[in-house]
Amino acid sequence: MLVLAAMSCGSRPAPADTTGPGAAIPPDRSSARALPAPAPVGEPRIVALGDSLTAGLGLPREMAFPAQLERKLAQRGHPIAVANAGVSGDTSADGLRRANWALEGNVKLLILALGANDGLRGLPPAQMKKNLQGIIHRAHQRGVPVLLAGMEAPPNYGEQYAAAFRQVFQDLARENKVTLEPFLLQGVAGVVDLNQGDGIHPTSEGAARIADLLLPTVEKMIEPTRAK
C-alpha cells in the first residue's frame, strides 16, 4: 500500500542497522533525552505512544498530530490533554521499554502508533506483534483502553512480508478486543502536499489529517469515561 512506497529509497531493502524512520532521515535521538514529563497523577490525559510520525519530526511540537488532536477535541467539548510520547527512530521494542513510563498517571486512552520503523528495517512481524502485545497488556493491566493505529510495510520487502506485517495489527485488534484504525497515514501517505521534502513525514496539514482521522474514534472512546 501507500506507506511506505514513499518511505522506500530504491529497490533494495534498507540495511538492518537503519536507525531512522526513513533511510533519508537520521533519527532525532535528542528527543529520547527530553521526553515530556508525565501529567500530574490526577490529571486525565490521552497518551500517543509512537515514533517520529507521532513526535512530529520537522514540525513545531504544537503542530504534531497529538497537539492538533487535543485542540480538535477541545473544540468539540472534550478538554483533555493529549500527551505526545513519540520518539523519532523508535521501533515497537523501544516503545515496549517506554510503556510503563508512558502509562503513568491518569491515562484515559492509549493511542498506540508504532511499527513504521519495524517495517522500514524489515524486522520480523512476529517480533513486532510480541512487542505491541506487551504494550497492550500493560495498558489493559491499568484499565486503559487502546486505540491501535496500523501501519503498512515498504513494498521493497515483497507482498508476503507486507501481508504478514498488516495482519499483525488485525490479529492484535481481534485477539485483544481493541479498536483498530487500519492505517495511521490514510489520506496522507504519498500525497506530496501533505508531506515534507523527505516524502516521509507529514507537514502540519498532513498531521491535521491524521488528527481528523483519529478524532471520531477517540471521541467515542473517551465519552464513557467522561460520563463517569
52 in catalytic set: yes
Residue 197 contacts by C-beta under 8 Å, 6 or more apart in sequence? none
Q: How far apart are CA 185 and CA 3, in angstroms?
A: 7
Catalytic: which of 8, 31, 51, 52? 52
Is 118 an active-site residue? no
String of DSSP letters for 41-92: TTSEEEEEEESHHHHTTTS-GGGSHHHHHHHHHHHTT---EEEEEE-TT--H
Considering 28, 94, 171, 198, which one is annotated as catalytic? 198
- What whole-number distance in Å separates Cα of residue 49 and Cα of residue 29? 16
Neighbours of 217 (CB within 10 A): 16
198 as an active site residue: the answer is yes
Please name the amino acid found at residue 52. Answer: S
| Catalytic choice (31, 51, 88, 201) | 201
Distance CA 147, CA 100 (A): 17
Residues with active-site annotation: 52, 198, 201
